[in-house]
Structures are given as structure tokens and as C-alpha cells.
A and B are shown apart, each in its own frame.
Chain A
Amino acid sequence: MAICQFFLQGRCRFGDRCWNEHPGARGAGGGRQQPQQQLSGNNRRGWNTTSQRYSNVIQPSSFSKSAPWGGSRDQEKPSFGSFDSGASTNRNEGFGLPENPFASLSPEEQKDEKKLLEGIVKDMEVWESSGQWIFSVYSPVKKKPNISGFTDISPEELRLEYHNFLTSNNLQSYVNSVQRLINQWRNRVNELKSLNISTKVALLSDVKDRVNQAAPAFGFGSSQAATFVSPGFPVNNSSNDNAQNFSFKTNSGFATASSGSPAVLGSSPAFGAAASVSSAISTSAPAFGFGKPEITSAASFSFKSPADSSFGSPGFSGLTTSLATGPISAPVAPAFGGGSSVAGSGSPGSHSHTAFSKPSNDTFGNSSISTSFSAPSSIIATDNVLFTPRDKLTVQELEQFQSKKFTLGKIPLKPPPLELLNI
């Protein structure tokens, strides 16, 4: 029997009566839809399915749903299973940390992110092909903040501009400005559709951290004189800049593994070692894929510890291993405190994501990351930020670093001293 696609999305109208196969035989999704189907002879298109779809994204989904996403995500799967317990139990339990910036992403969240990104791509395609109004902000999931790079201009505002320019006989400049806006929009849409790493990172940070773009003073307006201050796009959003020149602006959450942003690093020392290590390494292997060598060093890298961790603040561990597999995308917030050790269980191989949380897609590999690599030197330069000098550590922290494993509740927040790292 064919597998029912609607069921996989959780919205099969027929439920048990469906002629297709429902893997997992959960008919829960089916029943809901039926009453609506019978109402109104007319088209029921569009009613209500959208809200359900969104709710699926927002709520954590159970693992049985992971089946349909199997496709490209195989390498992550096993780790999902093994990780999850580690990650989720420790997530935000704090260990006394007030905000665990690494809020480790559980596999569910990773899946959500993937869905999010896919949703964005699809929305962009629809937007382009549908002829709808282009000067609008956009958010990938309702109730989330807007994605940067889009300006909101209502048709009335645009029309008023037209009238103003008309009276000043300056229609050409109006036309030019509109054309410019359209181009910006188109660029942004294409960027979102192609989803390379930097945009992903920026997007995810947008969505997660509610980066609000500066209201696009769009400069329409009060002055008649022509020049439109181009709204939106260059209005600086740190995330936009990232897209363009990968400059390490502090974008929380930006920390792409490779080198994270030094700025970020700077501010939160935690990121520390890992970053430098990886960046050093990465210079040689720009394609993020971080081949073998990294792994080994990584393994040793993780702050001594070890084997298992139950270590919650995931964050970093992922960096190291699994790099090869790639789903790294934008790791989350820096501050990873000493933590890095290998979260989740056992074999390095599985580590992959964690830290990296936001796995995003394989496209991740290609990278604009290569451009960033200029940074590494600067990173190393800021040694004192990446590694705490030994004397700055408290006795307890030093002890932790020196021990084989971190103990829960005592994990240092500062990065380890350079001397203690065996690379």
C-alpha cells in the first residue's frame, strides 16, 4: 500500500478509513479533519489546515514523526536517539547557570528548525510565483518575529509616493526607487531560497532571538527629492551583514562553528578553545566539513573529559566530532562554558550535532564560510579571551579542568587554560 502523505504530515482526513497506509497507525490526525470536510458543499480549501500545520511545527513532535524526514538526515538519526536523553535532561537544568545559552537543541528542535528552513524556502517560492504584494515583511511561522531584509510598505504608502512624485514631476525617480526596492526584495528572496550558511545562521538567529530590525526609515517621503534611502536591506541588521560579508558581528547564536564570531567569542569567553581549535583547523579545510583531522583533535580537545557526559551544556561538543558529517549550521550561543565536553553519549561519532544544534541542511557545506576564515588569526590573538589564564581560575574550576570528567554542578563557566589542553 502506498504510504499516506497526509498522515505523515499529521493531517489525513480519512483517518482509519484511509486507503493508504499509516505507518505507526496513529489515526489521531485523521479524525479531526472530517467534520470540516462535510460542511459546505463549496470549497473547503484552505480552511484550518494551515493552523494545524503550524501547530505541528511549534509543538515538539514525537519521534514517530521522524520517519518521513529520514531522507537526508540519516547521519543524525542515531545520534538523536542516543543523545536525546542527555541533552534534554540537562537542558536548562541550569547547573546553577542562570541562562544556559546553549539551550541544547534536542532532536525535536532540530527537526523543527529544518522544517522551518524548508518552510521558508517554500514560502519564498510561493511569494515569487504568486504575484502577491512584495513589499511586505515575512515571518516563517506565525507568532515568530519577522525575518530581516524585508520592508513593510503598504500599497497606500507606495501610491502616495507616486502621487507626490507626480506633482513634483519627478516620476522617474519614483520609478527608480521602486525598481531598487524590487531588486532588493528579489535579492533577499533569492538569498533565502538558496539558503547558504550565512543566511541560515542569520535566519535562525532572527527567529530565535527576536532580532528586531531597525524600522526601515524608508526615506520615502518627506523629502521630495528623489533619493530613496534604501530601506530595509542595508539597514543594518547584524544578520544582514553577516550575509554579506560574514563579518563577525555579534549575533548571538551566530557562532558558526568554524570560528564563531570573534566578537562573540570576545564577549563570552566560554567559547574559547573550541573555537580556536576549529578555526585553526578550518583554515585548512574551509568546507566546513571539517574533515578528519579535526575530529581527532577535537576529540582530544574536549576539555579532558570524556566519554560520557551527561553533560548538558552541549554546545560545543558537537563541534568536534561529527564535523565531518556536517550538519553544523549555526551553533547557538556562545557561552559555552567549559562544558563542551562531549555531550550525549559515547562515541564521538554521535556527537555531531548537539552543539551545533540547528543542523540545517547539507548545503551547509558550501560555504561562504571560507570567506570568514580570515578571522582565525584574530581569534588566536585573543587568547586571553579564549582561554583563561591559569591564575584566573578558581581552585574548583581548575580542579574540574584537570579531572577526567566534569562533575555536574561544578562545570566551570570559563574556558580552560591553554596549558591544560592537549591538542
Chain B
Amino acid sequence: MSLFGTTSGFGTSGTSMFGSTTTDNHNPMKDIEVTSSPDDSIGCLSFSPPTLPGNFLIAGSWANDVRCWEVQDSGQTIPKAQQMHTGPVLDVCWSDDGSKVFTASCDKTAKMWDLSSNQAIQIAQHDAPVKTIHWIKAPNYSCVMTGSWDKTLKFWDTRSSNPMMVLQLPERCYCADVIYPMAVVATAERGLIVYQLENQPSEFRRIESPLKHQHRCVAIFKDKQNKPTGFALGSIEGRVAIHYINPPNPAKDNFTFKCHRSNGTNTSAPQDIYAVNGIAFHPVHGTLATVGSDGRFSFWDKDARTKLKTSEQLDQPISACCFNHNGNIFAYASSYDWSKGHEFYNPQKKNYIFLRNAAEELKPRNKK
């Protein structure tokens, strides 16, 4: 077990250097801050699956590291371990039994991190940075799915260095999500493909994008019978599309909504439009959370088509989010997502991960 090398202060709100008493806005929601947060932007967050007792949070950052914390019920976070890549880590995921963590990085590889032994081995190789990584557990096979900017989707049995399968994508993979037996991949140039994973992964349908701009994040949601039935797709234009795979009435069931914009009601001044950096569905309620470059998170009920809550604005964009397995904890990372280019990048600025109690706020609104 290695503790994290650098120490980081606890950053409680306090007076600024100039003596004014305004609190700095890094945690306006007064959520729990995770200790020893990464030193550079956090690209991905993932909580442990239900098979593991307790809650463990994994975060990958642009400082090339992946960190693991144990989150206790009291809210205390204990740093547990860390692994390094040779490039920024873009995505992380857990295996279904909670024993391994898979990490995807800009160094064109993906690694499998065995938590008990704290060893990480490379399990995948691409020709370009690996943007997404997901664990697939099917009745007759298990594998890791990696999506990369080299326009391929590869499936890896962790024991072999050759992929089990390689699927071509029309363009660079930007985001993906998997809930067996469905997988969705959103690519550059507004590409959108759904795969079905039974027996072996195969392309199910290419969908014309319901959004007009670049795809940024995608998350699959389930129906009342706990089967994946559609997905939410976020773009850089402050908009999320809810899309069902086989809806009874596509024109009515599929819709888009605007989010992460300023000046909502006032149409005279031009709105500021922010990218949707992450979407996560509450595992129990089915409501969703979106986080954006504006530094806010919002909770939505897609069935009632209403917004449940919007947070206060943080001083940095929120770059990633996720729920724990029972939906009690909502974690979101406050760090720079490059939405305004390199000029606004401040390497000295602290990056945070916040934990919020999500049991109450995400209850669906009752339809009238």
C-alpha cells in the first residue's frame, strides 16, 4: 500500500489572501472533500461494484495516476493505493467482482490493476490513446472493451495480448457505456453506434445523432425491469438527448433538453453554453445527474421530464461524476476540463473530488 506522494491541504474555505472574508467558491455545496485528491485534472471516477463490501472510489487523472480511496459511511475518505501510467488516464472501471480495476490511458495502453496484490499489468494496446474502458460480463464470456482514438473498439481477454475481437468505428471513440447486453459508443463526427453483446459483441444499429454538435458523454439507462433500454447522450453544446432503442413512439419518447447554460430565461443576452462533461444514472431511482463545464451539476428526472435540482456554481468545471452502487453517494470532480483552451489552465489550482449524499435529492418527481 503506498500512500500518495504529494500531500494536499484540506482546502477548507477560508479567507482569501486579500483579507476579505468571502469564501472561495471551490465547494459551494459544502460537500465532503476527498482527501489527497489528484494533482491534475480528474478525467474519470468510478465506484466499486456491490460485490465489494464498502465503497471504494477510483479516480484517474491527467497527472498519469490512478488513485483509490475507501469511502466510509461517516464520509471519511482514506487513500488506499495508487498506480501510474506513462500518460494521462482517461477512463477507469471495475471488474464485476471488485477485485480488479481497469485503467485506460493516453499512453495507448490499458492496464489491469489487481487491488489485493497492488500490481498492474498491461492488458491492451492501441495505436492511439485509449479513451474508454469497460468490463463486460456475459454468461458465456467476460472481457474488457476498450475504445480508442485509433477508431477501433477492441475486446480483450485479460490473459492474452491479442484482442478477442476488433471492431472498426467510423471515427475516433469519444465515449462509451456498457450495461449488458447493450453497449453504446459515441464517436467523433457525431457517430453513434449501439452494440449488442450477447454471444459475442456485434454492431446492432448505427443511430443518427439526435444532437447537432460533438458528442461528449453517454450513459445507458434501464427500464423498470432492469434491462437497458436507452441512453442519454451529452454534447458540447449544453444539451442532452434521451434516446430509447425501441420506443413505442420515437417522436414522442425521444427528446433532448438543454442544460448547463447561463441566462436561461432571458433571451436577449446571448447565453453561455457549456459542455456536458458527464452523465450518470442513479442505480435505484433511474434519475440522472449531469455535470458540466460551467461548474454545476444538475439532477433530472427523465420520465417526468423535469429538473430536480441544480447546484451552485463551482469555481472550476466539473469534469467527471459517478454514483456508488446503491445510489447513496454522488461523487463529482472539480477540475479544469480544457473547455477554454490552454490559456485558462492553471497547474497550481487544486483539483477536488466531492462526495454528496444522493439518497434524497434524486428521488423521482411524482407525475401529476
Residues of A within 8 A of B (CB): 36, 38-40, 42-48, 50-51, 55, 123, 125-126, 129-133, 135-144, 146, 152, 154-160, 162-163, 174-175, 178, 215
Contact = CB atoms under 8 A, between A and B. Distances in A.
B90 interface: yes
Interface stretch (B16-24, B208-216, B323-331): B208-216
Contacts of B208: 142-144
Given A142-B210, A155-B339, A130 B271 contact: yes
B171 A152 contact: yes
Contact of A48 (B270, B305, B307): B305
Nearest to B306: A40
Interface residues of B, number: 61
Interface stretch (B4-12, B152-160, B248-256): B248-256
Contacts of B209: 139, 142-143
Contact of A40 (B129, B212, B307): B307
Given A39-B305, A40-B307, A136-B237, A154 B188 contact: yes
Interface stretch (B92-100, B224-232, B272-280): B272-280
Contacts of A163: 62, 88
Query: Per DSSP, are chain B's interface residues mostly helix, strand or loop, or mixed?
Result: loop
A30 B149 CA distance: 46
A38 B366 CA distance: 12
Contacts of B174: 154
Nearest to A147: B212
B338 interface: yes
Contact of A154 (B214, B258, B272): B214
Nearest to B131: A156
B214 A137 contact: yes
5 contacts: A126-B271, A152-B190, A154-B172, A155-B339, A156-B129
Query: Per DSSP, are chain A's interface residues mostly helix, strand or loop, or mixed?
Result: loop
A259 B75 CA distance: 73
Contact of A136 (B214, B304, B306): B214
B194 interface: no
A47 B258 CA distance: 7
Given A133-B339, A137-B214, A126 B275 contact: no
A143 B256 CA distance: 13
Contact of B211 (A133, A142, A174, A175): A142
Contacts of B274: 131-132
Given A43-B264, A136-B237, A48 B189 contact: no
A126 B171 contact: no
B368 A158 contact: no
Contacts of A175: 342
Given A130-B272, A132-B238, A158 B256 contact: no
Contact of A44 (B87, B306, B367): B306
Q: Which 7 A-B pairs have the closest CB atoms?
A: A46-B258, A40-B306, A129-B270, A136-B214, A130-B273, A155-B338, A133-B236
B338 A215 contact: no
A47 B305 contact: yes
A48 B254 CA distance: 9
Contact of B213 (A45, A46, A138): A138
Contacts of A44: 306-307
B315 to A, nearest CB: 16
Given A51-B254, A154-B214, A146 B275 contact: no
Contacts of B345: 162
Interface string B8-47: 0000000000000000000000000000000000010000
Given A132-B236, A143-B208, 20 more contacts: A36-B305, A39-B305, A39-B306, A39-B367, A42-B307, A43-B264, A47-B306, A129-B271, A132-B274, A133-B214, A133-B275, A136-B213, A137-B189, A138-B213, A139-B190, A142-B208, A146-B190, A154-B188, A163-B88, A215-B189
Contacts of B88: 159-160, 163
B337 interface: yes
Contacts of A156: 43, 90, 129, 131, 338
A156 B188 CA distance: 12
A39 B364 CA distance: 12
B136 interface: no
B257 interface: yes
A157 B171 CA distance: 14
A262 B193 CA distance: 39
Contacts of B265: 43, 45
Contacts of A123: 212
B139 interface: no
B178 interface: no
Given A39-B304, A47-B306, A131 B272 contact: yes
A133 B292 CA distance: 12
Contacts of B304: 39-40
A126 B270 CA distance: 7
Nearest to B90: A156
B124 interface: no
A129 B174 CA distance: 25
Interface in B146-185: 149, 171-172, 174
Contacts of B310: 42
Nearest to B64: A163
